[in-house]
Amino acid sequence: MTLPRDTVVPGMLAGYRTFEALVRAQSGESWGSPTRCDGWSVADVAAHVIGQLTDVVNLRLDDLGSPEATARQVAERSGRPPEELADELAEGTTTAAALVGAFDEAAWDAPVAGSSVGSLGSGLESLWFDTFLHADDIRAALGQHEEEDGSLTASVSHIAQVLTEQGWAAATLSFDETPAFAVSGGGGRTISGKAMPFILASTGRADPAVLGLDPSVNIYR
């Protein structure tokens, strides 16, 4: 179940502003640093996140999230400096804030036309999750570390929804920093501890065996 609108909307917008600051802080040297996203530099990760928001606010939703769309987002921004991409993100965030402010509660729960993301609410929560995760990809590449509790909650919420859609075994995700979330109706095994190791394992960024889980927990499998 998606988090409430009054949590997701400000959290998503704050996530984009945090990402904008992260991009503006990059130099030419750090911009080209490799990340744990296979074949992607810091610049490529930033290009995907920023390009994705630009696509969303311009209602280019048909193939959003596909490998083809992701590759296009990166290619379209190849060679552009951090400040230019940060400016694009700032503009996109302003537009997004105006758009989401116009939606009522009925629209929040309704499917998004031309998209496979489900409801508007789940789609925006997914964007928040993606922005947070890719910000962590950049920080990890540069030896930095930061965790935002609200983003951890949104990430676990999103992962629980995806695992449920994928038919993962019933489980309860109950981490130190987040509320509990049910997978496939809840019950079953309780997975606890810190949220970030689970987020990394469930997105293919860490070995799930360390948490006693198997590769089926990877939502990108």
Domains detected in the chain:
5-141 (1.20.120.450), 150-217 (3.30.1050)
Q: What is the pLDDT of residue 22?
A: 97
Q: What is the pLDDT of residue 114?
A: 54
Provide CB contacts within 8 A for 125, sequence distance 6+: 2, 3, 8, 12, 154, 157, 158
* Dihedral sign (CA 181, 219, 142, 87): negative
pTM above 0.75, yes or no: yes
Q: What is the pLDDT of residue 214?
A: 96
Identify which has the larger pLDDT, 118 or 65: 65
Mean pLDDT of 149-174: 95
Q: What dihedral do alpha carbons 109, 155, 29, 32 form, nearest 10°?
A: -70
Q: What is the pLDDT of residue 209?
A: 97
**Rounded Cα gap, residues 119 and 184, in angstroms:** 18
Give the model confidence (pLDDT) of 35-79 as tens digits.
999 999 999 999 999 999 999 999 998 888 899 999 999 999 999
